[in-house]
Amino acid sequence: MDNKRVLVTGSGTGLGREIALEFARQGADVVVHYSHAKEGAIKARDEIRDMGRKSEAFFADFNKVDQSVNLAVQAISYLGGIDCLINNSGITMNKSFLDVTPQMFDSLYHVNVRAQYFLTQHVAREMIGKGGGAIVNVSSIHGVSGAPEHTVYAGTKGAIMAYTRSLAVELAHKGVRVNGIAPGWVTVENYYKAIPGFNEQDARQAAHDKVPLGRSGEKLEIAKLAVFLCSEECGYIIGQTIIADGGTTSLMSLISDFRSKSTASFGAGYVAGL
């Protein structure tokens, strides 16, 4: 990533912040974006500058599409272009399907899909004009698995995965590679705010019990994957959304204890050797 120019949206906290820092560790100049976490974005900017890299933090409210496009304009102007765009910004909500209002629906789709779409459109034009680039859209395993009270959020994440595929095949011959990441359980600051009594010890135990790998993911693991997807080593991969979830979506939900040998005898009598 030496001297690459990178924009990471939603990078004042959580995954986005770690992704921005990892690009800088690998030699990139990085624009940090925030809508609420100004303090975290400023700290990330300062950490990146301390690494000897160029960085600035810009505000944009992704409920307003013009502000998302203006963020692209600011980032391109500041960096002199963008080689890598990481569309990480997003908001979540849990609400019973029967209680979702149009305002709630619009908020999630505006921030998670519409703003990302038109920001990417502006950046892609600039990338094509200057020889290409790489785009990574951060989705979620909610886009491929069902969870109660997440119909709106899951819809936005599924939309990101679908448009990632189509955009990739449209832009590949123009020199722009598009891929996605769908993280599973990665503990971020919002968990402590949203889940009553959330603590690391209980979370570790829950992850051990529920995730086939026996633990939740680390922010740095997702950040390194984002860097890889933007690197030359990933040059032949387009249109893919890499699921990084410790095996969560690979586990059939009907299996109650995946660590124990099954006592069932399916196949006995009609499969040779059983």
Look up the domain containing 165 and give its range: 5-250
Which distant-in-sequence residues (6+ apart) come within 8 Å of 165 by Cβ?
Answer: 239, 241
The set of catalytic residues is 153
Supply the CATH number for residue 107's domain.
Answer: 3.40.50.720
Picking from 227, 200, 228, the residue whose alpha carbon sits closest to that of residue 216 is 200
Whether 263 is covered by a domain: the verdict is no
Q: Is the residue at 118 inside a domain?
A: yes
In a domain, 68, yes or no: yes
pLDDT for the residue numbered 69: 98
**What residue spans of 130-268 are helical by DSSP H?**
151-171, 189-194, 200-210, 219-230
pLDDT value at position 198? 81
Give me the average pLDDT of each 10-residue run along the chain (274 residues). 97 96 98 95 98 98 97 98 97 92 95 98 97 97 94 97 98 98 90 81 89 94 98 96 96 76 68 68
Sign of the dihedral defined by the CA atoms of residues 105, 7, 82, 25, in that order? negative
Q: What pLDDT is attached to residue 110?
A: 96
**Which residue type, as a one-letter code, is found at position 151?**
T
Looking at residue 272, what is its pLDDT?
67
In a domain, 260, yes or no: no
Residue 20 CA to residue 266 CA, distance in Å, equals 49
The answer to whether residue 268 is domain-embedded is: no
**In the prediction, which pLDDT does 253 show?**
78
Question: Is 269 inside any structural domain?
Answer: no
274 falls within a domain: no
- How many domains is the chain partitioned into structurally? 1
Instruction: Name the residue among 152, 225, 149, 151 with its Cα closest to residue 184.
Output: 225
Query: For residue 170, is it within any domain?
Result: yes
Which helix H or strand E contains 129, and what residues bound it? helix 115-129
Task: Note the pTM of the prediction, 2 decimals.
Answer: 0.93
Contact 78, 56 (CB under 8 A): yes
